Structure 1
């Protein structure tokens, strides 16, 4: 069986080979065919006039094709004179097929507005999107339309095969499971929203708190599994998810939700410009809206959670000129809560607490985040596109926890209080251009970026939320500079090569407030090559083979304290699979994959350190299918299997704790647009080892959820029901050594600790559109 070191030994020749390949691409001369025609155009939303990026454009009966760029522009070149049928389509929009007759040497320009329509899977294409590594593009967009989203964390579960678990009262970022990973709160899955990074490096939990997103504002999800895409660096080993909020509102909306356990939610979305020709910055198409969300719940625990969350968002999108667009975004989020924490099996079995009780009722926390972002997209000569984004985030986090109860402090308990207060400054820029190389097209993307995190981190001992002693207190300064070159070349009409090279440079600095002797600085760099092949069998089938290196960063405190610590442990992944349509209304994606980590890091937030698991390897199989049974009835299925092990550990003690081996999600959805809409879904995750030797088992579960609503042009009423069968299930689960107050001094028990999952939960909602 191959191990990680054998792959690492290949990195230098592979990097050189990739570099030589790029240089070859860039030095090949142009050899355009004489007398050929060019077809170009702009695709827009028919209501707002805004450009539509990523729309599939091609000629019927011919392989290949293209997709619109960030400004909604497309270009088909080297076309022989003659008559063609142009096909333009995007999920959720009425596709167009129109005849086009081209003369030799002619350049034809079209303007194509697309109206929105009810979803039809027969119109979904599986040809290569503009971003070649987004092989789940069709699947993800179908899910966004069909799957009900009740909260920000539900957005993450739109990623095929991704599961989440909450274990701190609803305010802490969810624990993520994907491709055989217990990703903790984001150590191996990169998340972004409108280009804003969500993951927090050098955080006590490898954190990706997505709660600052209002689900009703999210329009699109792009899913990337594995480390195959050069645009993503830190944390993008198991994959990455890019979420995009709406550029415009179809209508203003007021929504109210009321549920069991004192649950209330209100949402307001207001269109600021409408269609009455008001303008802010230009006479070109513009849109602007604001959104706000407030949530309160006591949840289903014995101790009222008193959970409160507020979200606010303002966004402007406009065309400053035919070749320039501007996006402005600002948001603010704040939340505070009580938590029942993780409870021990024996506490429930002995009747010390109920299943929904708490050993330490002082757990809970508060957090807030403020974001500002500006994006300028400009068309340059030669049909190149330059996209620039600058962003700033202010983030504050405080969490009261008690994981070991009375093990270390038998009198007052082992309460702790963690804080993280940081400023984030960032810039990303991408330059994209298509070049003709004879009869072939070379798409070049050059990206550069930087991110600075200036963070104050502390860890205190606490008793009933009163701080008693300081364990860790320091200042982290972390800067990342990155650059990448991504080349996509059509080798033949059906075969496409994507090759990329990414460079990341990190500078870590930690200044301890208590002990200057453990302060210091260090730096590290990573070069990550990627190589991917795509073969288009026809309009209904695409094959792919992908490979790439990635990494995840260690905590700045760990690498400064320990010179031997892994700073940027490397990952290598590879997979082969296909996206295909065996019948017009069925879309299937299947992939066999492997992922090797040089050093799998585990964040131990209650001690302010990271632990090294050593090298790990995983092999797996992903299956996703989406089927339109009738005009209004849809079925979907995800099945994900993997086998993962620690490489250096002895057999029988080499399990990867909490890593699931089998997960599945499936559902039936009745989608009518107006009128009655309904869905029934299940979630399944198997039993899995909770520790290295498998002596403690985290229990799997099977859950059934339902949603129904009735929609008209002016209002919507509906209901959601979670855990229809009212089964007892565990969300987050851990093997933890603890001592209860009633147990003898010096004793402890290592067993399963868990946060109970939601019992049957009914929630009603009503919306007004105007």
Structure 2
């Protein structure tokens, strides 16, 4: 796959951004949201666990990676076990979401998750996100909203970029390990139209013995008019990246001194990717109703090189390539009727959603030094998902309202085998459908602990599976018989909770939830097969707090506990624990910015120990870490910032697994024996300093 270099285009767009704004000398105003969603949702929310994050909350949040924007969702954990060009690892509600499965994310109406992906179902790469442009993140948890379909078992997040900036700016970031980042963004008003443009160029070697050599380029152009509820927007985006990765490694390789703490087993892991997109959205709201529509087309590709098992198969290494090349197009439209007081202020919504993935080539290949030596499997996939959704909300009395939803999903797909010695018999047509009812009941508000509301939620949802698993006849690795898996796996969840304001400036929510999943089926991209894990149950409690003790100060504190178990003991070892399901997470954040000279934020995050395999004999090590951001405004148009990531230099692991692998010395010494089970780790990056300079116009 050839990736087109467009750095000259970056410079042209940067000039186009800066020139008219600087010449005019007139800063435009940023769109102001009058809603306090995410903090005080009394009278609006349908559950205790939904909310919204604003640009103000993100402004002074220290971030190591773009996807950590989602850590503002209470209970969400974002980590990495490979290079920074690869999708992150996500954890929420007792789920190891892998690279995104079971949490559905959209940016400006475009899906981020990729179905039937080369590396894993629901692959959610957010490295193209520019945090400075994020205007809001609206999130839901559970399967209670009609708008949410496949890959939304734990919930969903909808990210929207700003339509205007209060000032154009250029951000320059420099730091240890050859970190450098330039972001230039500006907006200009032409009559009723707003033109926003942004360019990002970034690179980083990281602390790894093998430099990461991350090279990332990003462009955003957005033309809009009006607001999200009354207006339209057209957005073009272009992103590409390439990198060298340090994968997770056997912990014993570090302990023995074969490699250092930041060393790698394979010298040529990493990858390259691109995502080009064009999207449009339109909305109109009147006293009688509201209409919304959006359309999108995405050109996406990934070539990922990994050797997670090291040298089990010999001194040439176990590296493989996972390649994905596709076009995604689709959209959705909905209309809401406001029925007025004579109908208890009911709102009726009807909508349609459509998504089509034309995957011209998705494959798994054996490689050495990124050169293909064989084809395990290569396929072409056409996958279409259509959904009809209906929802009715009624305010029965001042203290009782309800929301009743119904969603019907239909997925149809065709897989065609293109290559692979044992893959030629695979493929075919497959389809599946599910009707999912949803129910939410809200009691309140009552004059208890401020304005307090109580919520009860129940619903059905589903996890979709890779089309290759649903059309499998043989194992592409060895030709043995394979049993096809369902294209749709049902999920059922429920939740009770409350939202209160115990003191002025303090908003708190508490949710108790449970989830049943018919099967933990997961497509394993590293092997090209679907791995059945059996049915499971999860339950837990989440407590979230948002406090504004004084002007310019924000304190948020979250605590989440969960338990994840298979319904039956696994045949491998008799255990029932779901591996890598984090049972306890906590976070505490403080930001301060009253518009004066100084501003900043401090965040602490705790991850409890989790089972690495089904018996929980082997567990990860619990740890906490802190990130700090401090800034100073030299003038209204010039500011400095200073980030310290991993403030106390914790020697912990970003992620831990249990599995088979071999080091080079073990294979050379003849002790590998087809793989040695043990702890596989990817360390936290050490304490890292980054400096930033922003000039505004």
Q: How high is the TM-score relative to the length of structure 2?
A: 0.89
1:628-657 CA-to-partner distances (Å, cap 9, x unmatched) read 223343322111001110111169601100
What is the deviation of 1:602?
2.6
1:724 is matched with 647
* Structure 2 residue 158 is matched with structure 1 residue 250: no
* 510-519 vs 478-487, greater mean Cα deviation: 510-519
Counterparts of 1:125 and 1:358 in 2: how far apart (Å)? 47
Q: Does 1:128 align with 2:43?
A: yes
1:271-293 deviations in whole A, cap 9, x for unaligned? 132xxxx33xxxxx331110011
Report deviation, 1:517: 2.4
Matching of residue 421 in structure 1 with residue 337 in structure 2: no
CA contact (8 A) 1:269 1:292 kept: yes
Inter-partner Cα distance in structure 1 for 2:522 and 2:620: 18
In structure 1, the partner of 2:460 is 549
Q: In 2 relative to 1, CA 138–51 (structure 1 residues): closer, same or farther, beyond 3 Å?
A: closer
8 Å CA contact 2:392–2:405 kept in 1: the answer is yes
The count of residues paired between Structure 1 and Structure 2 equals 646
1:200-231 CA distance string (max 9 Å, x none)? 01112220011111111101011101111110
* Secondary structure in 1 matching 2:254: helix
Q: Cα distance, 1:50 vs. partner?
A: 9.5
Q: Which residue of 2 aligns with 1:109?
A: none
Structure 2 match to 1:452: 356
Which residue pairs with 2:437 in the alignment?
529
Check 1:325–1:51 CA distance in 2 against 1; reply closer, same or farther (3 A cut): farther
Contact kept, 8 Å, 1:622 with 1:639, in 2: the verdict is: yes
- Other-structure match for 1:231: 147
Return the offset for 1:609: 2.0
RMSD over aligned Cα, in angstroms?
A: 2.2
Q: Could you say what secondary structure the match of 1:582 adopts? A: strand
Residue aligning to 1:309:
216
* 2:265 corresponds to: 359
Residue pairs, 1:590-609, within 5 angstroms: 590-609=510-529
Answering whether residue 654 of structure 2 is matched by residue 739 of structure 1, we say no
3-state SS of 1:126 partner:
coil
Cα separation, partners in 2 of 1:417 and 1:317, compared to 1, 3 Å = same
Find the counterpart in structure 1 of residue 545 from structure 2.
Answer: 625
Q: Do the aligned partners of residues 673 and 218 (structure 1) sit closer, same or farther apart at CA in structure 2, a change above 3 Å counting? A: same
- Deviation, structure 1 residue 431: 0.6
> Which of the numbers 623, 628, 631 marks the counterpart of 1:709?
631
Q: CA deviation at 1:610?
A: 2.3
Q: Structure 1 pair 138/470, CA: closer, same or farther in 2 (3 Å)?
A: closer
Q: Measure how far apart 1:742 and its partner are.
A: 2.3
CA distance in 1, matches of 2:338, 2:252: 64
What is the Cα deviation at residue 405 of structure 1?
A: 1.5
Query: 398, 405, 428: which is aligned to 1:520?
Result: 428
Aligned CA distance change for structure 1 residues 308 and 560 (closer, same or farther; 3 Å)? same
Aligned to 2:35: 90
**Structure 2 contact 514–539 (Cα < 8 Å) conserved:** yes
SS in 2 for 1:697: coil
Give the corresponding residue for 1:292: 199
Q: Deviations over 1:422-476 (max 9, x none)?
A: 1001020011121036261111111101100011101100111111000010101
Secondary structure of the 2:464 match is coil
> Cα deviations across residues 235-285 of structure 1 (Å, max 9, x unaligned)?
000111111100111110000000111100000002132xxxx33xxxxx3
Distance 1:694 1:418 in 2: 31
Aligned counterparts of 2:64 and 2:501: Cα–Cα separation in 1: 30
5 Å-filtered alignment, 1:262-661, equals 262-273=178-189, 278-279=190-191, 285-319=192-226, 325-379=231-285, 383-407=288-312, 409-436=313-340, 438=342, 440-455=344-359, 456-514=361-419, 515-538=423-446, 540-561=451-472, 564-649=484-569, 653-661=575-583
Please say if residues 133 and 229 of structure 1, whose CA atoms lie closer than 8 Å, have aligned partners that are also in contact. Answer: no
Q: Is the CA contact (8 Å cut-off) linking 1:135 and 1:579 kept in structure 2? A: no
1:396·1:422 contact (CA, 8 Å) conserved in 2?
yes
What secondary structure sits across from 1:552 in the alignment?
A: strand
CA contact (8 A) 2:28 2:166 kept: no
CA–CA distance in structure 2, aligned partners of residues 419 and 585 of structure 1: 50
Q: CA deviation at 1:390?
A: 0.9
Of 658, 681, 688, 1:761 maps to 688
Partner of 1:117: none
User: Using a 3 Å threshold, how does the CA distance of structure 1 residues 378 and 667 change in structure 2: closer, same or farther?
Assistant: closer
Relative distance call for 1:391 and 1:223 in structure 2 (3 A) is: same
Q: Distance in 2 between matches of 1:324 and 1:160?
A: 30
Counterpart CA distance in 2 for 1:185 and 1:199 is: 9
From 173, 184, 188, give the equivalent of 2:87: 173
Q: Distance in 2 between matches of 1:222 and 1:148?
A: 20
Q: In 1, Cα distance between the equivalents of 2:656 and 2:230?
A: 50
The CA distance in 1 between the partners of 2:554 and 2:283, in whole Å, is 37
TM-score under structure 1 normalisation? 0.81
Mapping of 1:648-687 within 5 angstroms?
648-649=568-569, 653-687=575-609
Distance 1:149 1:414, change over 3 A: closer
| 2-structure distance, mates of 1:136, 1:738 | 41
Aligned equivalents of 1:337, 1:225: Cα separation in 2: 33
Report 1:78-117 matches (<5 A): 89-91=34-36
Partner secondary structure for residue 473 of structure 1? strand
Query: Bigger relative contact order, structure 1 or 2, given CA contacts below 8 A and separation 6+?
Result: 2
Q: CA deviation at 1:141?
A: 7.2
Deviations 1:66-96 (A, max 9, x none): xxxxxxxxxxxxxxxxxxxxxxx5249xxxx
Distance 1:306 1:376, change over 3 A: same
Cα offset, 1:144, TM superposition:
3.6
**Which residue of structure 1 lines up, in the alignment, with residue 20 of structure 2?**
none
Q: Give, in angstroms, the shift of residue 319 of structure 1.
A: 4.2
SS, match of residue 346 in structure 2: strand
Unaligned runs of 5+ in 1: 1-46, 56-88, 93-120, 280-284
2:29–2:167: 8 Å Cα contact kept in structure 1?
A: no
Q: Considering only CA atoms, is the larger Rg found in Structure 1 or Structure 2?
A: 1
Partner in structure 2 of residue 154 of structure 1: 68
Paired position in structure 1 for 2:24: none
